[in-house]
Each structure stands twice: as C-alpha cells, then as structure tokens.
C-alpha cells in the first residue's frame, strides 16, 4: 500500500495558519456572553434551533470524519453514507423520552443521572465506563488527525543536521501537544459559534470537492457510469466482506451507535440543552437527522466516490494502490489548486482539533465532577479556604487534562492496528456502548429497573462480553448472520448485536426475578452472620471478575462463574443499596416527565398554548429575577404569574444570542412594554431601542 | 447486475428491524404521555416523526432503483 508524503505547499501552509488564527479569534469574541457557569457549560439555554443544527454539523463531521468515510467510499461506494442515514429509528425515544428528562433534571453529566436514578455506587461504575468510552473516542480523534497530517509532511525533517523521520505516532504526539494550546476560552457559547462557522465552511468545502471532482471526471453522467454498479448502491452487501457488511453495521451503528450518540454523547446533549426550550431542542435534532446528516454523508464520503471514478478513467491520475485512509487527501490534492487544498485541509483539521479539544475538556469535566471528589478525600486536609480549594481544583483540572491527553495517545496504539480508522471505530463502538446504552435505556423507559438490575448489567453483561470476545467462534458466530470470521479482527461489527443481547438479557432477567431475590435477601438479613455472608459475596464477585479477565478456565466453567457472579451482584446490591421509588423515579423516567416539568418550574405546569408578543423593553430599578408585562399581553400569552418566560431580541438572524429566561411577575397596564431587571439586560446584552419578543415557556 | 443480498435484502432488513424499533418507540411515548396528544403542537410532532421514517425509506428505495436501473 502506498503512503503519501509532502503534499502541502508553502501557500497551503500559510492558508492553514491564517484560518486557524481566524477561528480562534472568532471564538474568543463570544466569551463576553458568559456570566456564570451555566452560561459556560450550556450557553445559558437561549439559542434557536437553526443555530444549534448548523453548529452540530461540526461535531458530527469532526468525530465521524472525512478520513474514514472517504476510505469506505473508495472501497465500497455510496454505501459509505449508510451510517448517516440510519439514525431516525430511535428518535421517538430520544425526543419524547430522554431529551426532556435531561433538560428538566438539569444533569451535567451522564453519571450524575445514574446517581439520581439509581445510587452513588452505580454512578461510580458508570463513570468508569463513560471515561473508557470518551478516552476511546479521543484515541480515534487523535489517530484520524495523525492520518490527515502525515501525508502533508515530508518523509523526514533535517533540522541542524538532526535527521527526524516523520511517522504516524510522532505526528499524533505533536498534534496532541498543539491541541493543548488550542483550548477554547469562551465556554459553550464560543464553542457553539466557532462550530457554527466551521460547520458552514465544512459543508462548503465538502461540496466544493464534490463539484470539482464531478467536473474533473467529465460531469454527473460520466461520474455515475464510471462507478461500478455495486459502488452505486446505498446499502452495503448483506453479510460480506468482514470489514464492511450491512448487517454488522446496522447493529453496530444503527442500533448501538445511534442510541449511544443520542443518549450518552454529552457534547451533543449539551448543544440541545443550550436551546431556548425543549421543543426548540427537538426541532434542532429533527432538522439535524433529516437534512444535515444526509448532507454530511455526501460531504465526507464523496472524495472516495470521486477516487473510484478517477480509477475507472483511461489514464487515472491516482495510484490504484493508494492507502484508503489517505484517499481524501490524495483526491483533494489532485482536483484542487494550491491554496484551495490548504483551505480544505484547514477546515477539516480545525474541526477535528476542536472535537478533540472539547473531548479532552469533557473528560476533564467528568473526572472533576465524578472522580476527583473521591480522590480528594484521600489526601485533603480537614480545613481549607474556598480560595485554596478553587486554586487546587484549577490545578488538578489542568493536570488531569494533560494525563487524559497522554492516555488518549496510548489509546491510538491498539486502534492503529486496524486496517482503517472506520473499522477501529466500529469495534470500539461495538464493545463499549452496549452496557451504558442498555443501562440508560432501561433506566429511562422501565420503572422496575433498579440498582440491582443496572449493576448486574454492568458487571455480568460486560463479563459475558469478554467471553464473547475470547470465544467469538462459539458465542458470536450463531448470531453473526453468516458474516465471515476474520481471525485477526473477529466480528468487528456484529459483536455489537451479541453484546447488546447479553446486556439486555442480564438486565431484564435480574429485574424480572427481583421478588424471588428479595426473599433470599430477607432470609440473609435474619441470619446471625449476615454481614460476614455479604463480605464473602463481595469476595466471590471480585475473584470472579479477575478469573474472567485473565481467562484461564474453559468456556463452560467461565459461563457458570459469570451467572453465579451476576446473581450475587444483584443480591449484594439489594442488601446494601436502599432504592426508594418515590425518590429514584420522581421525574427521572419517561413515565414521569410531567413531574420533571413541575420540579423544573417549581410549581404547577401551565400547558395552555398562547401567542408570542412583541414589546419594547425597559429596565426596572430593582434587580429581582422576574419580568412584568401588561394584563392584556399576559392574556394573549395564556400566562400566569410565576410561569416561565423567554425574552429575546426580535431579530431572527441572531438565533437567540441576545435573550434570557425568567418568570412572570405581577402585570401592569402598559400594553407592548416589558419591564426587565438590570442583570437580564447584561446577560442578554439588549440594545437600546430594539424590539423584543416575549413568550411563555411553561 | 448487483445481487439481491446487496440491494433489496439490506433494505428489507433495515426497515424491518428499524421499523420495529421505531414503532415500539411511538407506542411507548404514546403510553407514557411523553407525546401528549391533547396538546395541538404534539399532533404536529407525531406527523414529523412518521414523516421522518417514510422519508428515509423512500430515499433509500429511490437510490436502490437508480443504482439498479440507471
């Protein structure tokens, strides 16, 4: 396989440098809209759906990048779009189950939901899975960046007589160091606006390549007929080859990946949480899946299709032996002129960098919120001042970011052993998402699902997954739908089906037998040595996990050990963890969303549908958190005193940037006038004389 | 001509199993009152959800027909 080097010219490097500086300055301008941590993390719940939709493009394209889809576009054609076109099936669950719960319960991380819904112990185990998932994503991001940059650099550098060869690992480490410098100062608002402009540029750059490519091969008709018939189909072959087949990718991406992306990607959820209301977040999600994802699929995959068409021409300008992961760079280099090539690469790498950077920040946030408080107990002095604590936390956050980046670099090593980034990402997704996805899904939609069920899913389910990875020819083959067995990378995709089945089966079976287990736990409690028995149970659980992990016993004995361990986990959880349905289900499942709304509002919900009213704004003398409008306007909006209100600059193109949330105060008599507090004016940055719209949120 | 296992079989499997998940989701959000149809805007949302399912189904069908016969 040919590897490329030295494709970047001086013009391209200048264009890339200017682009990066421009993007960083653009992002830092929006830092002024942060007035508290809610603004910093969530952008202050103010934005319009269209603004969020476009900003999500950079997130989706950044993590599911040009590199891997162009590679699959070359190898398999239009079916590279498959993974962008199968996200609709879980939208009802997401839009009317999970999204309102996330917004109304104001959770800041997925593990926090596990604590509210189950218990602190479950939160700790969920944190471990979440960190593994995010670090895996970081490894994929860094590996992709390395694969983008390596072809641009010469084969070696000669600096003052020092000969430095350019290899993938060296490039990855250098990029990780640069990423540390490329941090976002402005918080979520700056991230949203940086991603907004990057999303637009990415779409333009992608379509620019497509149009130039079509033109290069002689028009649309010529392009279509240069593609072999199998390359024109939108779905891959049902069960072959091993590295790209429909049925495996359906379960890995369409099921585990879609649910993982919608339910546990905190970066994406935080975007939807920055919408002005739940309904606005729904609009953003719907528009994203219906229109932006299919467009993104064309944008990221078309370089591969163009490459295949070029290879079908009489005198192809492309080497037939090109490395698939470098085909995007190779095709862009052939069809784009100097400078344009630099622009496209800059657009791609800036997005990838911001994805990687926000991932490092997100992992650091999970560490600081979910792990560090436990670590701190081990060394912290009894009395520290607030100032000392915040200084120490800032220091720890920085150190943890550095450590996380280093772990991310290490994570690229196993991934780089896969033939393409796509397959590495597929296997990682198949392995890490099923336990968390099952736990969230059953937790949200099944009231009977308790800490015993979720802990059994985490520990029993993941043990069965380890057995599946160890004995794929026995455990996974029967449900592999005839996909070929590759001994080096066995069942990269269809293993997601096996992993999902075992996690769901464990969770459901344990939950359905809870009343029988409760009888056993009650008997244990009555025995004289009940505490000793539970300690023995915990010892057996730990020993079982180690035995499964080191894999020294035959399969049948290992299976029996896992089943016994799963039951013991459930019994132990019921013995130690107090589960109170009135607390752990209140507003935290799809069955109690109305209650979640009441908790969010702090009172009875008013669901009557009213109008949006335009008004002039005036600032009151006091700084209380309420706004007042006239009685007539209240009637138009079907609003009552104490309802939640959203006030926004009337200019639609601002996308809600100048806006704030508050509550209705007592009405006055001046129609078309809204009185607001000074803090409202500062956070929304309203301009004198500009009209605002006032609407009831709930 | 591409084989059945590369054209209509994946399509049938995708919208068979995908449809199962989708309609199960519609049933559950109806039962939980997550999509409360007493509200006018939720009737619009229900149409959007069904539209999305058939929108992707039709796009995939058109693309397969184009690949086979154009």
Considering only CA atoms, which of A633, A644, A627 is closest in space to residue A611?
A: A633
pLDDT at B12: 94
Considering only CA atoms, which of A84, A144, A6, A152 is closest in space to residue A420?
A: A144
Strand pairing report for A613-619 and A659-663: unpaired
CA distances (Å), A680 to each of A47, A391, A625, A647, A655, in order?
16, 30, 8, 9, 18
Q: Is the residue at A628 inside a domain? A: yes
Asked whether the bond before A612 is cis by omega within 30 degrees of 0, the reply is no
**Do B39 and A247 lie within an 8 Å CB cutoff?**
no
Task: Determine the Cα–Cα distance for residues A151 and A251; give it in Å rounded to an integer.
Answer: 33
Looking at the structure, tell me whether residues A285 and A196 fall in a common domain: yes
Task: Determine the Cα–Cα distance for residues A198 and A149; give it in Å rounded to an integer.
Answer: 19
Tens of pLDDT along A271-300?
Answer: 787 888 898 899 999 988 998 889 889 988
Which of A584, A616, A649 is the endpoint of a domain? A584
pLDDT at A465: 92
Q: Is the residue at A423 inside a domain? A: no
* DSSP secondary structure letter of residue A291: I
Q: Is the residue at A496 inside a domain? A: yes
Assign A250 a pLDDT band (cuts: 50, 70, 90). very high
Task: Determine the Cα–Cα distance for residues A303 and A318; give it in Å rounded to an integer.
Answer: 12
Neighbouring residues of A409: CB distance < 8 A, sequence distance ≥ 6: A139, A142, A172, A173, A176
CATH of the domain at A133: 1.20.1730.10
Indicate if the pLDDT at residue A44 is higher than 50.
yes
Indicate if the pLDDT at residue B55 is higher than 70.
yes
Contact A415, A139 (CB under 8 A): yes
Lowest-confidence region among A459-473, A607-621, B17-31, B51-65: A607-621
- Reduce the secondary structure of A84-122 to three states and give it as a string: HCCCHHHHHHHHHHHHHHHHHHCCCCHHHHHHHHCCHHH
Torsion, CA A232, CA A237, CA A238, CA A242, rounded to 10? -150
pLDDT at A181: 58
Contact A435, A130 (CB under 8 A): no
Tens of pLDDT along A523-569?
Answer: 888 888 888 888 899 999 999 999 887 877 898 999 899 989 999 99
Looking at the structure, tell me whether residues A453 and A396 fall in a common domain: no
Q: Which residue has the higher pLDDT, A529 or A307?
A: A307
Assign A316 a pLDDT band (cuts: 50, 70, 90). confident
Task: Determine the Cα–Cα distance for residues A366 and A645; give it in Å rounded to an integer.
Answer: 32
Assign A223 a pLDDT band (cuts: 50, 70, 90). very high
Query: Which residue has 């975007």 as its token pair?
Result: A271
Looking at the structure, tell me whether residues A403 and A470 fall in a common domain: no
CATH of the domain at A633: 2.40.40.20
Indicate if the pLDDT at residue A37 is higher than 50.
no
Q: Is the residue at A524 inside a domain? A: yes
pLDDT at A189: 64
Neighbouring residues of B34: CB distance < 8 A, sequence distance ≥ 6: A96, A97, A100, A590, A593, B28
Looking at the structure, tell me whether residues A411 and A535 fall in a common domain: no
pLDDT at A28: 65
Enclosing H/E stretch for A454:
helix A451-456
**Which chain A positions have a beta carbon within 8 Å of B11's beta carbon?**
235
Contact A125, A458 (CB under 8 A): yes
Looking at the structure, tell me whether residues A578 and A614 fall in a common domain: no
Task: Determine the Cα–Cα distance for residues B55 and A398; give it in Å rounded to an integer.
Answer: 46
Assign A109 a pLDDT band (cuts: 50, 70, 90). confident
How big is the CA angle at A162 (ends A156 and A164), to the nearest 5 degrees?
A: 30
Q: Which residue has the higher pLDDT, A69 or B39?
A: A69
Task: Determine the Cα–Cα distance for residues A245 and A247; give it in Å rounded to an integer.
Answer: 6
Looking at the structure, tell me whether residues A513 and A365 fall in a common domain: no
Task: Determine the Cα–Cα distance for residues A316 and A192; give it in Å rounded to an integer.
Answer: 41
pLDDT at A562: 94
pLDDT at A536: 92
Considering only CA atoms, which of A365, A367, A368 is closest in space to residue A357?
A: A365
Q: Report the range out of A61-65, A255-259, A503-507, A691-695 with the highest average pLDDT.
A: A503-507
Q: Report the range out of A53-67, A106-120, A171-185 with the highest average pLDDT.
A: A106-120
Task: Determine the Cα–Cα distance for residues A694 and A276; give it in Å rounded to an integer.
Answer: 12
Q: Which residue has the higher pLDDT, A585 or A621?
A: A585
Assign A184 a pLDDT band (cuts: 50, 70, 90). very low
**Which chain B positions have a beta carbon within 8 Å of A590's beta carbon?**
28-29, 32, 34
Looking at the structure, tell me whether residues A106 and A228 fall in a common domain: yes
Looking at the structure, tell me whether residues A276 and A366 fall in a common domain: yes
pLDDT at A423: 81
Considering only CA atoms, which of A5, A62, A589 is closest in space to residue A358?
A: A62
pLDDT at A338: 66
**Do B1 and A229 lie within an 8 Å CB cutoff?**
yes
Indicate if the pLDDT at residue A153 is higher than 90.
no
Which of A584, A619, A639 is the endpoint of a domain? A584
Instruction: Compare all CA atoms of chain A with the CA of B40 and give the residue at the minimum distance.
Output: A609
pLDDT at B54: 94
Considering only CA atoms, which of A4, A45, A599 is closest in space to residue A277?
A: A45
Q: Which two tokens stand for residue A121?
A: 């112990």
Assign A162 a pLDDT band (cuts: 50, 70, 90). low
Neighbouring residues of B26: CB distance < 8 A, sequence distance ≥ 6: A92, B35, B46, B49, B50
Tens of pLDDT along A380-410?
Answer: 654 566 666 666 666 777 677 778 888 888 8
Give start and end residues of each alpha helix (H) in A314-370: 327-335, 340-366
Sign of the Cα pseudo-torsion (A523, A526, A527, A532, in order): positive
pLDDT at A467: 92
pLDDT at A294: 92
Lowest-confidence region among A85-94, A309-318, A393-402, B4-13: A393-402
pLDDT at A627: 84
Looking at the structure, tell me whether residues A486 and A452 fall in a common domain: yes
Terminal CA-CA length for chain B:
11
**Which chain A positions have a beta carbon within 8 Å of B6's beta carbon?**
230, 233, 235-238
CA distance B26 to chain A (A): 6
Q: Is the residue at A594 inside a domain? A: no
Contact A369, A190 (CB under 8 A): no
Terminal CA-CA length for chain A:
60
Indicate if the pLDDT at residue A185 is higher than 90.
no
Whole domain around residue A210: which residue ranges? 10-415
* DSSP secondary structure letter of residue A337: P
Assign A35 a pLDDT band (cuts: 50, 70, 90). very low
Question: Residue A447 in 3-state DSSP?
Answer: coil
Contact A428, A252 (CB under 8 A): no
B26–A contact, CB cutoff 8 A: yes
Assign A41 a pLDDT band (cuts: 50, 70, 90). very low
Number of Cβ within a 10 Å radius of residue A429: 23
Strand-pairing partners, residue A159, are: A162
Of A78, A88, A229, nearest to B56 by CB-CB distance is A88
Q: Which two tokens stand for residue A15?
A: 């264009």
Q: Is the residue at A222 inside a domain? A: yes
Tens of pLDDT along A10-30?
Answer: 777 777 768 767 766 766 666
Enclosing H/E stretch for A646:
strand A644-649
Q: Which residue has the higher pLDDT, A120 or A356?
A: A120
A501–B contact, CB cutoff 8 A: no
Contact A442, A263 (CB under 8 A): no
Considering only CA atoms, which of A29, A69, A355 is closest in space to residue A193?
A: A29
Looking at the structure, tell me whether residues A147 and A65 fall in a common domain: yes
* DSSP secondary structure letter of residue A162: E
Indicate if the pLDDT at residue A190 is higher than 50.
yes
**Do A92 and B56 lie within an 8 Å CB cutoff?**
no
Q: Is the residue at A422 inside a domain? A: no
Size of the A and B interface in Cβ pairs below 8 Å: 125
Indicate if the pLDDT at residue A419 is higher than 50.
yes
Longest dimension (CA), chain A: 86
Contact B19, B26 (CB under 8 A): no
Q: Which two tokens stand for residue B39?
A: 């509200």
B41–A contact, CB cutoff 8 A: yes
Q: Is the residue at A597 inside a domain? A: no
Considering only CA atoms, which of B12, B28, B25, B30 is closest in space to residue A88?
A: B25
pLDDT at A259: 87
Q: Which residue has the higher pLDDT, A477 or A343?
A: A477
Q: Which two tokens stand for residue A398?
A: 């920085």
Of A235, A255, A445, nearest to B11 by CB-CB distance is A235
Looking at the structure, tell me whether residues A368 and A460 fall in a common domain: no
pLDDT at A27: 66
A90–B contact, CB cutoff 8 A: yes
CA distances (Å), A106 to each of A98, A195, A600, in order?
12, 23, 8
Q: What percent of chain A has pLDDT over 70?
A: 86
Q: Which residue has the higher pLDDT, A208 or A354?
A: A208
Number of Cβ within a 10 Å radius of residue A596: 22
DSSP string, A413-444: HHHTTSSSHHHHHHHHHHHHHHHHHHHHHHHH
Looking at the structure, tell me whether residues A476 and A512 fall in a common domain: yes
Contact A668, A630 (CB under 8 A): yes
Contact A334, A121 (CB under 8 A): no
Instruction: Compare all CA atoms of chain A with the CA of B2 and give the residue at the minimum distance.
Output: A230
Strand pairing report for A659-663 and A644-649: antiparallel
Distance of CA A6 to the CA centre of its chain: 34
The mean pLDDT value for A310-323 works out to 82
Tens of pLDDT along A647-682?
Answer: 988 887 888 878 888 878 988 888 888 888 877 877
Q: Which residue has the higher pLDDT, B13 or A162?
A: B13
Q: Considering its fold, how many domains does chain A have in total?
A: 3
Sign of the Cα pseudo-torsion (A17, A19, A23, A25, in order): positive
Indicate if the pLDDT at residue A515 is higher than 50.
yes
A289–B contact, CB cutoff 8 A: yes
Q: What percent of chain A has pLDDT over 90?
A: 20
**Do B45 and A78 lie within an 8 Å CB cutoff?**
no
Mean pLDDT, chain A, whole residue set: 82
CA distances (Å), A651 to each of A48, A190, A648, A654, A691, in order?
11, 20, 8, 6, 8
Q: Using only C-alpha atoms, what is the Rg of chain B?
A: 16
Query: Which residue has 């752990």 as its token pair?
Result: A584
Contact A303, A327 (CB under 8 A): yes
Instruction: Compare all CA atoms of chain A with the CA of B27 and give the residue at the minimum distance.
Output: A92
Task: Determine the Cα–Cα distance for residues A683 and A689; give it in Å rounded to an integer.
Answer: 17
Task: Determine the Cα–Cα distance for residues A569 and A623; give it in Å rounded to an integer.
Answer: 53
């Amino acid at each position: 396989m040919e590897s490329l080097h030295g494709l970047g010219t001086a013009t391209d490097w200048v264009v890339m440098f200017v682009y990066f500086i421009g993007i960083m300055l653009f992002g830092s301008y929006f830092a002024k809209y942060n007035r508290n941590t809610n603004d910093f993390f969530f952008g202050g719940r103010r934005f319009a759906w269209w603004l969020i939709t476009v900003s999500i493009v950079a997130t989706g394209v950044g993590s599911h990048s040009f590199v891997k889809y162009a590679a699959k576009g070359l190898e398999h054609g239009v079916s590279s779009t498959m993974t962008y076109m199968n996200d609709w099936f879980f939208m009802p669950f997401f839009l009317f189950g999970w999204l309102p719960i996330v917004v109304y319960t104001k959770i800041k991380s997925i593990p926090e939901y596990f604590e509210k819904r189950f218990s602190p112990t479950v939160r700790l185990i969920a944190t471990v899975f979440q960190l593994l998932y995010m670090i895996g994503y970081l490894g994929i991001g860094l590996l992709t960046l390395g694969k983008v940059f390596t072809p641009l650099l010469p084969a070696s550098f000669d600096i003052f007589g020092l000969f430095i060869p350019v290899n993938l690992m060296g490039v990855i480490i250098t990029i990780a160091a640069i990423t540390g410098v490329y941090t976002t100062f402005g918080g979520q608002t700056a991230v949203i606006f940086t991603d907004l402009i990057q999303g637009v540029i990415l779409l333009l750059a992608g379509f620019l390549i497509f149009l130039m490519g079509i033109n290069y091969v002689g028009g649309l008709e010529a392009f279509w007929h240069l593609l072999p018939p199998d390359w024109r189909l939108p779905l891959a072959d049902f069960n072959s080859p091993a590295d790209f087949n429909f049925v495996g990718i359906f379960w890995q991406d369409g099921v585990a990946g879609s649910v993982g992306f919608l339910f546990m990607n905190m970066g994406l959820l935080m975007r939807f949480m920055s919408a002005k209301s739940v309904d606005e977040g729904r609009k953003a999600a719907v528009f994203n899946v219906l229109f932006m994802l299919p467009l993104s699929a064309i944008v990221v995959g078309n370089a591969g299709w163009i490459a295949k068409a070029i290879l079908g021409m009489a005198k192809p300008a492309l080497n037939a032996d090109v490395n698939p992961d470098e085909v995007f760079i190779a095709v862009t280099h052939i069809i784009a002129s100097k400078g344009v090539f630099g622009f496209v690469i800059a657009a791609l790498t800036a997005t990838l960098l911001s994805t990687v950077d926000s991932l490092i920040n997100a992992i650091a946030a999970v560490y600081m919120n979910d792990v560090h408080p436990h670590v701190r107990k081990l060394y912290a002095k009894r009395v520290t001042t607030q100032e000392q604590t915040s200084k120490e936390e800032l220091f720890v956050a920085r150190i943890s970011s550095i450590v996380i980046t280093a772990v991310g670099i290490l994570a690229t090593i196993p991934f780089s052993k896969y033939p393409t980034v796509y397959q590495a990402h597929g296997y990682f997704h198949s392995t890490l998402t099923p336990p968390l996805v099952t736990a969230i899904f059953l937790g949200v939609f099944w009231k009977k699902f308790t800490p015993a069920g979720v802990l059994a899913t985490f520990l029993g389910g993941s043990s069965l997954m380890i057995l599946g990875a160890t004995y794929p020819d026995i455990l996974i083959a029967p449900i592999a739908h005839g996909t070929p067995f590759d001994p080096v990378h066995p069942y990269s995709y269809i293993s997601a089906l096996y992993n999902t089945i075992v996690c769901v089966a464990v969770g459901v079976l344990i939950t359905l037998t809870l009343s029988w287990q409760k009888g056993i736990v009650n008997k244990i409690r009555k025995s004289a040595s009940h505490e000793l028995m539970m300690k023995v149970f915990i010892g057996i659980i730990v020993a079982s996990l180690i035995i499964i992990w080191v894999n020294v016993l035959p399969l049948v004995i290992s299976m029996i050990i896992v089943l016994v361990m799963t039951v013991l986990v459930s019994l132990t959880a019921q013995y130690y963890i107090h589960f109170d349905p009135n607390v752990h289900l209140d507003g935290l499942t799809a069955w109690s969303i109305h209650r979640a709304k009441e908790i969010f509002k702090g009172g009875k919900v008013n669901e009557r549908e009213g109008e949006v009213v335009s008004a002039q704004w005036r600032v009151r003398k006091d700084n209380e958190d309420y706004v007042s409008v006239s009685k007539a306007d209240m009637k138009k909006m079907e609003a009552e005193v104490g309802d939640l209100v959203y006030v926004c600059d009337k200019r639609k193109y601002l996308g809600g940037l100048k806006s704030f949330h508050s509550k209705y105060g007592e009405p006055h008599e001046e129609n078309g006038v809204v009185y607001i507090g000074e803090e409202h004016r500062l956070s929304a940055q309203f301009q004198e004389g500009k009209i605002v719209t006032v609407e009831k949120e709930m | 001509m591409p084989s059945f296992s590369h054209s209509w079989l994946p399509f049938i499997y995708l919208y068979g199993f995908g449809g199962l998940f989708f309609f199960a989701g519609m049933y559950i959000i109806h039962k939980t009152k997550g999509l409360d149809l007493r509200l006018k805007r939720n009737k619009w949302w229900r149409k959007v959800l069904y539209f999305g399912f058939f929108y992707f189904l039709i796009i995939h069908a058109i693309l397969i027909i184009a690949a086979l016969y154009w």
